[in-house]
Amino acid sequence: MSRRKIFKVIIILAIVGIVSAVSIGVYLFNKPHRDVEAASIEFRVSNTDLVTQYLTNPEKANQKYLDDSGNSSILAVTGKVHSISRDMNNQAVVLLKDEEQKAGVSCTFTLQTSEQTEKLQVGQSITVKGVIRAGAGYDEDLGLYEDVILEKCSIL
Amino acid sequence: MKKVFYILIPAIVMTMVSFKAINGRLISRSGHISFYSHTPLEDITAHNYKVVSTIDPGSGSIAFSVPMQSFEFEKALMQEHYNGKDFLNTKAFPKAKFEGTIQNIDDVRFAEDGVYEASVKGNLTIKDITKPINEKGTITVKGNTVNIRTKFNVVLADYGITFRKGKPSTNIGKEIEVTVDADHLPE
């Protein structure tokens, strides 16, 4: 191989390297959000069981469900509809909670899935899929029980 | 005499009802907090619609609880960095908290519609680090809804969030602008 040919090969390899590094960079920078609605369910649990896990041992429950990068567990939670409302972004919020429960599971739907909640009735039993964001517990400063938070929800 | 009772009884009932509204705690379970970071290289915004807060109209004490993983960013990678161990470490510290007091609570008339400037003093806890803050906010009373709105800056280094190298050190502002907007209803 002539010196010139070797030089040519090196240049080509360098260009290929730079182009792929830049495209990986651009891809990572623009990496889409995880599609929670389409992703597979990691845990199936009842509303009461999930809340009890948090009220008895919040550290253990956080260890089990939360993720370091914020891509926490995708759950399918079954429970009774306690209330239906809208948040400040006009997303539907369904609270799954039994009457005697101290805390429930607050499920926020997306702008796309919110219409699934339109026909829901209070007291109806449903299964909601979503990503867990925080657990339930009593907060002394608030003076009330906080609900488990589930977001990007859809009805199964 | 009977006539007096007809007037008196509704009057007493009305007073009791309105007192109940004034004394009862006000709760918001879907408040909105956003933050904004500006650098010449990049502007970053994130939104959170799952903030829980309470106001005690009697004492003026207020409290906010912020689920940290509920902040949504435009870019997935940014959101992962934000949640990660080097930044907010949200798995270990899933909630940020504020508890404080409205200093001029006597100026706020919760029983009638109006807009009030409130001065709030309290403690903000992020990543288990608590710092005193002293900010102004706006309280809007409309019917039985009490809205709190405020905007203030948080210096990241105060809460042990520092970057010495890499993209975050150049693309994330040292000071973040935090906007709070929450509608509270009687319990």
Q: Is A65 helix (H, G, I), strand (E, B) or coil?
A: helix
What is the pLDDT at residue B170?
77
pLDDT digits (tens, 9 = 90+) for B66-108: 999 999 999 998 899 899 988 899 999 999 999 999 999 999 9
Average the pLDDT over A20-38 and give the result.
84
pLDDT digits (tens, 9 = 90+) for A48-66: 999 999 999 999 999 999 9
Contact: B54, A144; criterion CB under 8 Å = yes
Burial, B134: exposed, middle or buried (Cβ in 10 Å; 0-12, 13-18, 19+)?
A: exposed
Tokens 């867990």 belong to which residue? A132
Longest CA–CA separation in chain B, Å: 83
Q: How far is A5 from chain B (nearest CA, A)?
A: 38
DSSP letter for each residue of B54-109: EE-TTT-EEEEEEEGGG-EESSHHHHHHHHSTTTT-TTT--EEEEEEEETTGGG--
Best mutation target among A69, A71, A139 (most B Cβ atoms within 10 Å) is: A69
Q: Tell whether B58 is within 8 A of chain A (Cβ).
A: no
Residues 6+ apart with CB under 8 A from B13: none
Contact A104, A150 (CB under 8 A): no
A105 to A26, A78, A136, A143: CA distances (angstroms): 37, 10, 8, 18
Q: Which of B52, B82, B90 is nearest residue A146 as measured by Cβ atoms? A: B52
Q: Residue B38 has which token pair? A: 């500006």
A93 to A10, B49, B143, B167, B187: CA distances (angstroms): 58, 10, 23, 36, 18
Average the pLDDT over B110-134 and give the result.
94
Residues in A closer than 8 angstroms to B80, CB to CB, are 69-71
pLDDT digits (tens, 9 = 90+) for B164-186: 666 777 788 888 999 999 999 99
Q: How far is B54 from chain A (nearest CA, A)?
A: 6
Average the pLDDT over B39-51 and give the result.
92
Contact: A93, B69; criterion CB under 8 Å = no
Average the pLDDT over A140-144 and give the result.
92
* Rounded CA separation B183/B53 (Å): 9
Average the pLDDT over B30-47 and give the result.
92
What is the pLDDT at residue B9?
60
Single-letter amino acid code for the residue at A58: P
Model confidence, pTM: 0.85
Does the pLDDT value for residue B138 go beyond 50? yes
* Rounded CA separation A3/B136 (Å): 72
Give the Cβ contact number of residue B169 at 10 Å: 12
pLDDT bucket at B21, cuts 50 / 70 / 90: very low
Tokens 């809205």 belong to which residue? B147
Residues in A closer than 8 angstroms to B186, CB to CB, are none
Contact: B80, A70; criterion CB under 8 Å = yes
Total residue length of chain B: 187
Q: How far is A13 from chain B (nearest CA, A)?
A: 27
Contact A107, A152 (CB under 8 A): no
* Rounded CA separation A31/B80 (Å): 11
* Rounded CA separation B160/B91 (Å): 16
- The phi-psi region of residue B67 (left if phi > 0; otherwise alpha if psi is between -120 and 50; otherwise beta) is beta
Chain B, window 101-140: residues with a beta carbon less than 8 angstroms from a chain A beta carbon: none
Interface list for chain A against chain B, based on CB atoms closer than 8 Å: 28-34, 62, 66-72, 85, 87-89, 91, 93, 106, 108, 133-135, 139, 141-144, 146-147, 149, 151
Percent of chain B topping pLDDT 90: 66
Q: Residue B155 has which token pair? A: 């210096």
